[in-house]
Every structure is written in C-alpha cells, then in structure tokens.
Amino acid sequence: MEATVSVLIGLFFAVAIYLLMSRQLVRILLGIAILGNAVNLLIFTSGRLLREVPPIIPEALQVPGETIANPLPQALILTAIVISFSFLAFLLVLAFRAYQELGTDDTNEMRVAEPTGDVRPPQGY
Amino acid sequence: MSLIGSEATFIAVLAPFAAAIVAPTLTRLLAHNAAWPLALVPAAIFLFFAGLVPEVAGGVSFTPMVDWAPSYGVTFSFFVDGLSTLFALLISGIGTFIILYSGGYLKGHPQQGRFFSFMFLFMGAMLGLVLGNDLITLFIFWELTSITSFLLIGFDHLRAASRRAAIQALVVTGGGGLSLLAGFLVIMAVTGEANMSAVLASGDTLRDSGLYALILVLVLGGAFTKSAQFPFHFWLPNAMEAPTPVSAFLHSATMVKAGVYLLMRMHPVLGDTALWTTILPVFGGATLLVGTILAVRQTDLKLMLAYTTVASLGLLVMLTGTSWEKAIEGAALYLLAHSLFKGALFMVAGTIDHEAGTRDITRLGGLRKAMPITFAAACLAALSMSGLPPFVGFIAKEYLYTGIWGGAGANYALTATAVLGNALMLVIAAAVALKPFLGPKVETPKHAHEGPVLLYAGPVVLSLVGLASALLAHDTGVLVIGPVVSSILGVPSTVDVHLVPTHIGAALYLSLGTIALGVVLFLRLDALRAGTAGLLTAIGWGPDKGFDQVIAGIVSFSAWVTRTVQGGRMEVYMTMTFLITAAALLVPMTVAGTWPTSFAMPGFRFYEWGVLAIAAAGLVAVLIARTRLTAIVSLGIQGFAVALIFMLFGAPDLSFTQFMVETLSVVILALVMTRLNLQPRDHRPMMARLCHSAIALAIGVGFAGLLIQITSAPFDRRLSDFFEAYSRTIAHGRNIVNVILVDFRGFDTLGEISVVMITGLCVLALIRVRPKRSAEEALDLAAGDEAVRKREEARV
Amino acid sequence: MRTVIFRTIAPYLAALMVLFSVFVLLRGHNEPGGGFIGGLIAASALAIYGIACGVAAVRRAITLHPMSLSAAGLLMSALSGLVSLFTGQPFMTSQWWYVRLFGVEVPLSTPMIFDIGVYLVVVGSIGSIALALEERESD
C-alpha cells in the first residue's frame, strides 16, 4: 500500500521541483505549494498507512482498543500545513510586490541588487 | 603572610581588566593626569608579586584554582613559580611606568581613555598568560594578547599603515596561536593532564612519545610567531606604527617575550632533545643575525630598536635551545636585562620623537643640553644594552658566553653568532643613545626641551634598576635568577651571580672582543648602513612583501569563489541545489545497493485508486496549465486530493486542515494572480526543459525509492505507543493528535504559532511599505536631480 | 463576486462559520478539531465576509485589528505555560481544574487555554493576510 503512495509522492516531488527550476515567479510559487504537500505526504507515509481508524480513543476506554493510525506524523504535519500556508502567502505577497516594483516576473531580470560589470574586490587594508 | 594560595592571585590578574573599565571615565574626569591613579593598579600588582618573591625563592610553587567549565575539565588556575613571578614583576613593574608615560605621551589625545583601556586589557591578558596553569586558560590569554595587541597596534586606525601592521600582527600571532592550541591538545591527549604544573611533572612522557616531533613543531609554531623569530619576524618592526608606549610595553618586555616564556616554561618536558637543540639554536641564531643586520640599516630610532628586539629574542631562543645550564643562566639574566634596557630605550626614543618632532637619527643631534635627564637615562640603558660593566647587561653577557663556550658541540658557530650579534647591538645602542644627543645642534621640527616628569620617570627608573640589579648581583641571583633557572631546568638550582668576574677566562676575552668589534663598527656606521642597504636592495624580496601577496591572493581567491558560487541567478542556485539533492538521494542507494527490488501490488479499493488518480491528474494539469485560472484550479485539485488521502488513511484532523488551507490558498492565489501574468508557455528552451525534467525526475524517483525502502523496513512504534498509552491517562484527552500538539509537544507548537504570526506581520509590512518612487526613478535620482526634473517636465 | 445573493447570505454564513469554528476548537481535545482547524475556519469566515461585503465591513465587525488578536493569542499561549510554575512544575506542565457550573462538571485546563491561544493566532494572522490581500483589490 505504501509503495503505490510512494510513487505518487515521487510524482509530487518531480512536478514541484520542475516548476521550482523555472524563471517565472508564478511557476515557482505553484512549485512551492506542491512541494509543501509532497513533504507532508512523505512524512505521513513514512509513519505507515492504515485505513480509516483515526487516532482517537473511544469514550469508554483509557487506551486505544484496536490498532489506530499513527498519531505522531499527524501532529507534525498539522502544524506544517498551517506554516507552509502562511509561508506561501508571504511568498505570494513578496512576488507580487516585486512584480509591482520591478515590472517583471522573470527572476533573471530581478537582479537590481547584483553588481554589474567586472567587480574587483577591495585591496589594501 | 601567605596570600599566595588564596584568591589574591585572581584579584591581581583581574585588576587590570577592572582598570580597563574605569579608565575611560577617569580620563574624562582627570584628562592625562588620570595616569597617576591608574598607575597605582600595576604598582599594587607589582608589590603583591614582589611580596611573593621570598617564598618563591624558597622553592615553593603555588597553583590556586577555581572551576571554569567543569564539564570540559577546564579550570581557571594559576601557577606561581620563579619564571612566572619574574614575568609578572616585569609586566606590572614596567607597566606602571608605561601607564605614566602614556599619560604624558598622549596628553590631549581625544582617545586617551580608550588607549589606557586597551593597555590595561593587554596587561591583564599578559599576566594571565604567564601565570596560567590550565593549558586552555593559558591559550585563551595567549590569544587575548594577540587581540589586544591588534587593538593597540591599530590604535591610530585612520592610517592605512597602522591598519596593515595591526592585521599583520593579528594574522601572524593569531595563526601561531592556533598551532599552539593544536600542540596543547596533543599534549593533553598524550599526558592526560590539563594543567601545566601536572604536565611539567610528567617527566619524560612527552619526550618518549611518538608524537614528540609533532608537539614540538606545533608549540614552536606558536612561540616563534609570537616571539618574532625568523622568518616570522616581519610583523614586529611593522608594529612600530603603534604609539611609542605600546612599542615600549609590547615589544620589549611583554608580548614578544610570551614565546620565549613558553619555550622556557616547556623546557623541562620538551627540551634537551636532539630536535630541540638543533631547531632552536638554528632559528634563534638566524634571527639574531638577521635582526641586527636589519637594525643597522635603519635610521628611525624606533625601527632600530625594534630590529634589535628581534635580535635579542633570537639570542634568547638560541640560548634556551642549547639546554646547557650555564647558557640558561645567561638567558635568564639577559631576559631581565633586555626588558629593562629596551623598555627604557623605547621610552627615550618616544620622548625624543615627542619633544623634537622627529625620530630620524640623521636629523637629530646636540640634544644633550635641551634634554639632560633623558640623555642620562639613555646612556645608562645603552650601557646595559652594550654589555658594559657595571650593568646587568654585562653580567648577562658574561654568563651567556660562559654558557656557550663551556658547552659542547656547535659552540664555535654559536659563539661567533653571539659575538657578532652583540657587537652589532652595541653599535645600535651607541647610535640610539649618542647620535641624537651629541655633536652639533641640529634644527629639529619642534623646539626640543625636556619632557614632563611623566615622560622621563620611566626611562630613568628602568635604567637605574638595570644598574641596581647589577650592583646587588648576589641578591638578584638568589631572589630572581635562581628561581627562574630552577623553573626552566625543572630542577631546583641556585645561581651565584657576581658583578666582577670570578676568574679571567674565555668569557671575559669574548666580552672584550665584542666591545672592540662594536666600537670599530660604530665608527664606520654610515658605511655599514650603506652596505647593508645595498645588500637588502639586491635581495629585494622579504617575508613582509610575501605577506601582502598572500593576503591579496586570499582576497582575490575569495572574490573568485563568491563570483563562481553566487552568480546572482536564481535559476542556477535552484538547479545546483536540486542537482546535489538528487545526488544525495541516488548515490547512496546505488552505492549501498539498497534499491527496492520488489514492488507489491496493493489491494486498493477502487475509490482509493480514484483519489490517487485525481491527485496525479491535478499535478499534470498544473504542469501544462496555460492560463492562470487553469493553474489555480488544478492546484486546488491536487490539494483536495491530498486532503482525501489524509481522510482515507485515518487522519481526519489533517484532512479538515488541508481542506481549509486549500480553500484559502485558492482564494488568495486568485486575489493575487489576477495581477500577475502567467506566461502561456513555459519559455525555457528545449535543452533546459530536458535538463530540468531529468533532475526533477531523478529527485522524484529518489524520494519514491527512499520511501519504499523506509516503509518496507520494520516500524519502530515506541514513540507512537507512548502517546497512545498516556494521552488519556495523563493528559486527559482522547484526540491523540491534539493532545500531542497542545500538551506533550506544546512548546514546539508555541514556536510554530510564533512563526505563523511573524509571517502575518511580514505580509502586512510588505503590503504597507511603499517606496515613494519607483525603482527607475530612484536610479535617475542617483544619476542626478537634473534627470528627474526633466522627467517631471516631460510628464507635465 | 459581489452578487446580491452572495452579499445577503455572506454575513449569516460567516457568523455560522465562526460559531462552528468555536465548536471545533472546544471539542478538539477529544474529537477531531482543535485550535489550528478552528482558526482556519474562522479565518475563512472573515475572508468570505470580506469578499462579499468589503474589507471595511469586516474591520468594523471585529473591532480589533486582526494582528492584535494574533498577538493576544500568542501571549495567552505563552502565559498558559507559566501557570505550572506556581505549582513548582516545569514550564508548560498541564494543569486541570474541574469546575461545577450550573450542575455540570466543566473541565478547564491550561492546554485548553493554550489551544485558544493557537486559535487566536491563526485567526489573526491568516485573517489579516487574507484581508490585506482583499484590500488590494480596491486600490
């Protein structure tokens, strides 16, 4: 069961990384959004998959009565989802503001802070 | 009266640091007169150590100790014996007069308080160095002297020459310090001891160790750089860029003697081997000759003295390197003599510079009437430096000649080196003490007159001490030299010092020969100077120039590395990062041969297949989307598919969260992307596309393979079991995921919500902050207001 | 987007969602739910209300700046961990009190206060981001 999902996760990574290597901000943003899902699924799957038994202890028991889904990766991922979302929002706004200021969404044209010409290091003391 | 084992030693070492803190304030209140109260600090330290002399002379060593970093076994401990007491006395005694001298020399300087502060920091570091017992403590103080000397040499930081000299001193001595640290670590590993006193008690352990050669080379790397041995001598003359009080203190009695101190300190355990008695005399002798020859060439008083310092350090290293008892006695005496006369002469040179406005020997003359006290002090110190009776310098020379001549082996070469070196030193001493004062009056940039008491107190007292310690030769021998020699040799020994030679022997003849040679050379000084200058011009290249080339090379190399690694292209960074990620994933699995071999077809239900297919379809759709709406919707599809996967595999919390997040993502993406253009086509060239696809596929395959490998291994459920067992029983919650978040791992969650909040603030800041001009206009503004005005007009 | 139907329904929808978010938040310790999910639901409510009726209306409705909510939440979460210091236990050790209110035993605890803090941080930050982006529409 994990093996098939693993292959899907591989696809998630491949798509995310292909998009990230683009020069267009929009594609990079899409790549980041997908990369977040890819990593979350990676953590989720490495904690093993189990169908339809949420990690909730029944009312009558003190400890889970049957085998339940692994709660630990779920706790890790829950915060990761929220944080990756807030970062996506941040990057989105950053990209948008950069687009507004520079009038381009091509990373190769966003090099206003890079030195131009042949830059010699400072010599002397 | 035994204060010695108590905390008093700590107070003595820490007092200069305290003085460094109050010095700026005090200087603001009292101006240059702050030197008087400040000088009380080193004076008190001097008196404290002077009080210890009788006990130390009685053969007692003390090691007070407090824990510093107990987990690493580092203690803050001090070792008081003959050698460290002599050094402590020199540092604090000469330091007292240096502080006074600084008061006069830098009178009215706006940064005088800072100068005092640096001086005291250095003094404290130096005291800690010579008293340090724990090897790590010693090393830290050793490096602290490098750092504080950097501050002092670069005190006049507005001049490039000062900055260069400061950096050079730091690089050379700091680099040597690293070598020393390595040496100490090996010593600690071999002996299993962290304290100098314990290492010294370890007998032949180090000498018999297979690592002896390594230890020796590493320790010498520290000592030779600090003590300016050839070919590391070049930093010391350059450090003359510092104000004269610094030169007088650092480069006569303290900083540069640290290396000699270390050699003498380690002599009982590292010395007296074939390697030791070869390396040290060779380097020491070479330094002696190079130093004196370079000194003759100079016309600047301070540089002449600086090169003779190099030479004297060479002489000390040479003597220590012979490991002969008599030579060691000579070294101990010469150590004392040199500190006194060199400190005095440096201060004299500074006073001449201060009062006459130049220290170029060819532009000075006839100052004896204007500056009688300084002249007297200069003569006394120069007589000691020349090795004439009745000064301690004379006694030192007697003993060192006795030592070298009386020893065995290469004593002819050593004797010849010593005689020539001493003769040239006599030349320099005479030149420094006589040329500026005798002869016809020469017009100097400033109208010369005697300096204030702050300026002449130091030279007078130090040169008189040089005289007194010779006249009281017996007491000097019993109280000071004997304990020092005991420390260096590692066995209790007494030294009987006489001012008048007990018998007419080789030493006396050698002394007379040295003086005769010196006088002859002095009379031909100008010719000698021209000759050495010609010789050095012919060579043309020295380690000083090499240092510049090395530094320039390092700067160019790092600039090249920066340009290469950080070209400023996002695409390249990304590609490199992912290329390495792919390698990190694929190479280990290939090398270790752990690629998954079997692939079990799972018994998925049809709707599960459906969800997986939707996710895959969403991904592919994002990839090939040509309009922003398609892209956003496709992104949403894969996101909701992920939420369904969470739902299917027993994670309702995740599923809900993912649903909400995907909804919000689609909303804000839609809000922003209406403004951003999604180019209809991926405008990468075909080659780049293929290349990027290959990298992306490699990483995809890598992660899939890794994950299959991980999940086919047995699962360690210990953590999950813990949470399942205690979620209800201890934390009173049935939703285990939530209990982990808010209770078991609450601190993590606190950090995570802080991150969420910070991103919120950043987004607000990004939206709110609006520059007044567009980037284009800002550039125009930089080019000149004219352009902007034209634009404005054009707009109107 | 601002159709009449949407604008009429949105306030009720938003109110229901906020109510539901509080429900999800409070039941989180025992059933699926919790501060993160609750916070996201409430933030979505603010976003929907903002899209339908304008950001100014949302700001009036919640009176406080969303980042103030967020800051208050973070403070609350951090302080809830300090309670245990009074009992001599390490930072963030959970404390439970069972209070009888109107004949019903209500369990109160520091993890619950902590979770409410999480809720407020998420509502405040995500809501603030969403509102700020919606505001961009109008200028």
The span from the CA of A33 to the CA of B434, in Å, is: 83
Least confident interval from B163-167, B406-410, B707-711: B406-410
Q: How far is C8 from chain A (nearest CA, A)?
A: 29
* A6-35 tens-digit pLDDT: 999 999 999 999 999 888 888 888 899 999
Residue of C nearest to B669 (CA): C133
Taking 80 as the threshold, does the pLDDT of residue A117 lie above it?
A: no
- What's the average model confidence in pLDDT over B756-782? 73
Of B661, B711, B771, the CB nearest to A2: B711
Contact flag C40-A82 (C-beta cutoff 8 Å):
yes
- What's the average model confidence in pLDDT over B232-259? 86
Chain B residues touching chain C at CB-CB below 8 Å: 652-653, 656-657, 660-661, 663-664, 667-668, 671-672, 675, 731-735, 737-739, 741-743, 746-747, 749-750, 753-754, 756-757, 759-761, 763-764, 767
- What's the average model confidence in pLDDT over C64-88? 90
Q: For chain C, how many structural domains are there in total? A: 1
Q: How far is C121 from chain A (nearest CA, A)?
A: 11
**CB contacts, 8 Å: B565 with chain A:** none
CB atoms within 10 A of CB C17: 19
Contact flag C36-A78 (C-beta cutoff 8 Å):
yes
- Residue tagged 């950069």 (tokens): A98
Residue of A nearest to B777 (CA): A101
Which of A100, A12, C37 has the alpha carbon at shortest distance from B677? Answer: A100
The pairs formed by B471-477 with CB atoms below 8 angstroms and a separation of 24 or more are B471/B390, B471/B499, B473/B395, B473/B497, B473/B498, B473/B499, B474/B498, B476/B336, B476/B392
Residue of A nearest to B645 (CA): A41
Of C24, C30, C44, the CB nearest to B733: C30
Peptide bond into B37 cis (omega under 30): no
Contact flag B753-C117 (C-beta cutoff 8 Å):
yes
- What's the average model confidence in pLDDT over A82-95? 90
Q: Sorting pLDDT into bands at 50, 70 and 90, what band is B193?
A: confident
Query: For position A52, what pLDDT does the model report?
Result: 67
**CB contacts, 8 Å: C129 with chain A:** 86, 89, 93
For B209, phi and psi rounded to 5 degrees? -70, 150
Count of pairs with CB atoms under 8 A, one residue in A, one in B: 294
* B723-734 tens-digit pLDDT: 888 888 888 888
Taking 70 as the threshold, does the pLDDT of residue B679 lie above it?
A: no
**CB contacts, 8 Å: A124 with chain B:** 160, 164
Q: Output b/e per residue, B650-674; b: 16+ Cβ within 10 A.
A: bbbbbbbbbbbbbbbbbbbbbbbbe
For B251, phi and psi rounded to 5 degrees? -100, 10
Helix (H), strand (E) at residue B787: helix B785-795
* % of chain C at pLDDT higher than 70: 96
**CB contacts, 8 Å: C129 with chain B:** 668, 759-760, 763-764
Residue type, B41: V
Query: For position B771, what pLDDT does the model report?
Result: 63
Q: How far is B111 from chain A (nearest CA, A)?
A: 22
ipTM for the complex shown: 0.93
* % of chain B at pLDDT higher than 90: 25
* C33-46 tens-digit pLDDT: 888 999 999 999 99
Contact flag B764-C67 (C-beta cutoff 8 Å):
yes
Residue B75: helix, strand or coil by DSSP?
strand
Is any Cβ of chain B less than 8 angstroms from the Cβ of C41?
A: yes
Contact flag A56-C32 (C-beta cutoff 8 Å):
yes
Taking 50 as the threshold, does the pLDDT of residue B597 lie above it?
A: yes
Contact flag A82-C36 (C-beta cutoff 8 Å):
yes
The span from the CA of B253 to the CA of B658, in Å, is: 73
To test the contact with chain C by mutation, choose from A68, A74, A81, A82 the residue with the greatest count of C C-beta atoms within 10 A, namely A82
* C-alpha dihedral, B707 to B709 to B715 to B718, nearest 10°: -60
- What's the average model confidence in pLDDT over B656-661? 92
Q: Quick check: B448 and B442 in contact, CB under 8 A?
A: no
- What's the average model confidence in pLDDT over B32-60? 87
Q: How far is A56 from chain C (nearest CA, A)?
A: 7
Is any Cβ of chain B less than 8 angstroms from the Cβ of C49?
A: no
Helix (H), strand (E) at residue B53: helix B35-57
The span from the CA of C128 to the CA of C133, in Å, is: 9
Which of B226, B261, B233, B243 has the alpha carbon at shortest distance from B157? Answer: B243
Domain boundaries, chain A: 2-52+68-108
Is any Cβ of chain C less than 8 angstroms from the Cβ of A89?
A: yes
Q: How far is C102 from chain B (nearest CA, A)?
A: 22
- Residue tagged 């509502």 (tokens): C123
- What's the average model confidence in pLDDT over B218-234? 90
Query: For position B2, what pLDDT does the model report?
Result: 46
Q: Sorting pLDDT into bands at 50, 70 and 90, what band is B709?
A: confident
The span from the CA of B731 to the CA of C114, in Å, is: 14
Extended strands (E) in B530-681: none
| Beta-sheet pairing, B74-77 with B65-69 | antiparallel
**CB contacts, 8 Å: A99 with chain C:** none
Contact flag A54-C32 (C-beta cutoff 8 Å):
yes
Taking 60 as the threshold, does the pLDDT of residue A98 lie above it?
A: yes
Which CATH architecture fits A2-52+68-108? Orthogonal Bundle (1.10)
The span from the CA of B389 to the CA of B394, in Å, is: 5
Of B100-109, B179-188, C6-15, where does the model show the most confidence? B179-188
Query: For position C139, what pLDDT does the model report?
Result: 47
For B351, phi and psi rounded to 5 degrees? -65, -45
CB contact set of B539 (below 8 Å; sequence gap of 6+): none
Of A71, A87, A99, the CB nearest to B736: A71
Contact flag A82-C129 (C-beta cutoff 8 Å):
no
Query: For position B56, what pLDDT does the model report?
Result: 82
- What's the average model confidence in pLDDT over B156-165? 89
- What's the average model confidence in pLDDT over B562-568? 80
- What's the average model confidence in pLDDT over A54-76? 85
CB atoms within 10 A of CB B551: 17
Is any Cβ of chain B less than 8 angstroms from the Cβ of C50?
A: no
Taking 70 as the threshold, does the pLDDT of residue B152 lie above it?
A: yes
Query: For position B262, what pLDDT does the model report?
Result: 92
Taking 70 as the threshold, does the pLDDT of residue B332 lie above it?
A: yes
Is any Cβ of chain B less than 8 angstroms from the Cβ of C53?
A: no
**CB contacts, 8 Å: B741 with chain A:** 75, 78-79
Least confident interval from B777-791, C65-79, C113-127: B777-791
Structure tokens given for B323: 């490991």
Count of pairs with CB atoms under 8 A, one residue in B, one in C: 140
Query: For position B1, what pLDDT does the model report?
Result: 38
Mean pLDDT for chain C?
A: 87
- N-to-C CA span, chain B: 93
Q: Quick check: B260 and B320 in contact, CB under 8 A?
A: yes
Q: How far is A116 from chain B (nearest CA, A)?
A: 11
Query: For position B400, what pLDDT does the model report?
Result: 83
Taking 80 as the threshold, does the pLDDT of residue B37 lie above it?
A: yes
- Residue tagged 């209800």 (tokens): B728
Query: For position B775, what pLDDT does the model report?
Result: 54
**CB contacts, 8 Å: C31 with chain A:** 56
Q: How far is C114 from chain A (nearest CA, A)?
A: 14
Q: Sorting pLDDT into bands at 50, 70 and 90, what band is B581?
A: very high
Query: For position B3, what pLDDT does the model report?
Result: 47
* % of chain B at pLDDT higher than 70: 93
Instruction: Evaluate the CA torsion angle A43, A48, A51, A54 in order and state its sign.
Output: negative
- B25: Cα separation from own chain's centroid: 28
Structure tokens given for B619: 């991904």
- What's the average model confidence in pLDDT over C56-75? 91
Residue of C nearest to B759 (CA): C125
Chain C: list its partners (3+ Cβ pairs within 8 Å): A, B
Query: For position B183, what pLDDT does the model report?
Result: 94
Taking 60 as the threshold, does the pLDDT of residue B790 lie above it?
A: no
The pairs formed by B204-208 with CB atoms below 8 angstroms and a separation of 24 or more are B205/B269, B206/B269, B206/B270, B207/B269, B207/B270, B207/B273
Taking 60 as the threshold, does the pLDDT of residue B669 lie above it?
A: yes
Contact flag C129-A54 (C-beta cutoff 8 Å):
no
**CB contacts, 8 Å: A69 with chain B:** 649-651
Of B651, B697, B755, the CB nearest to A69: B651
Query: C133: domain range?
Result: 4-138
Residue type, B542: G
Taking 80 as the threshold, does the pLDDT of residue B556 lie above it?
A: yes
Chain B: list its partners (3+ Cβ pairs within 8 Å): A, C
**Which one has a higher pLDDT value, B59 or B707?**
B707
CB contact set of A118 (below 8 Å; sequence gap of 6+): none
To test the contact with chain C by mutation, choose from B659, B662, B742 the residue with the greatest count of C C-beta atoms within 10 A, namely B742
Q: How far is A84 from chain C (nearest CA, A)?
A: 12
- What's the average model confidence in pLDDT over C5-21? 90
To test the contact with chain C by mutation, choose from B738, B740, B741 the residue with the greatest count of C C-beta atoms within 10 A, namely B738
Contact flag C133-B743 (C-beta cutoff 8 Å):
no
Taking 60 as the threshold, does the pLDDT of residue B4 lie above it?
A: no
